[in-house]
Amino acid sequence: MTVEGQGDGSLDTGSTPVYSTRAADFSAALFLRRKTMNRVYPAIIHEEEGSYWVEFPDLEGCNSIGDSLEECMVNAEEALGGYLAVLLENGDEIPKASRLEKIRTKSGIKSYICVDVNKYHKDTRAVKKMLSIPAWLAKEAEIRNYSLSKILQDALIEKIDIA
């Protein structure tokens, strides 16, 4: 398999492209707009002895397997999302996606795999926030040894409906 040239990044399907690949810029952009960061990469799907595996020519070492085609495709999306999220977290450049017609292979089926990188990348650093609650409520929480930070975090996750 070979790749002839690199794409121009036009395969970014997110509604507002994120051009910076620095993790800090990416994290800030996520908080400013909770939209998708879809990325599309060419993949080569192979079948061997009833099982399937996928490779991404533009992303060295990024591949996935599955017992069925459906499982392989789900795993491929997860592998792609995880791979790109790690690049962002490390502050590394995200390679531009090649066009499918530029991919040369002797075996397998060429296809695109799309992933919302936001699903796999979350800035998990703790940040300090001030809040105001009634004194009696703060006292009751302290008596019960409740962590207000944990309670607030759990409530926000439930309210925003994210996991």
Checking if the pLDDT of 13 tops 80, the result is no
What share of the chain has pLDDT > 70, as a percent?
75
Q: What is the pLDDT of residue 40?
A: 95
pLDDT digits (tens, 9 = 90+) for 25-63: 555 444 444 566 899 999 999 999 999 999 999 999 999
CB 157 within 8 A of CB 163: yes
* Average pLDDT score, the chain: 81
CA 76, 82, 88, 93 torsion-angle sign: negative
Checking if the pLDDT of 116 tops 50, the result is yes
Q: What is the pLDDT of residue 157?
A: 81
Q: What is the CATH number of domain 2-119?
A: 3.30.160.250
Type of residue at 79: A
* Range with the poorest average pLDDT among 15-19, 100-104, 132-136, 151-155: 15-19
**pTM of full prediction above 0.85:** no
Q: Which of 100, 113, 117, 99 is nearest to 21 (CA)?
A: 117
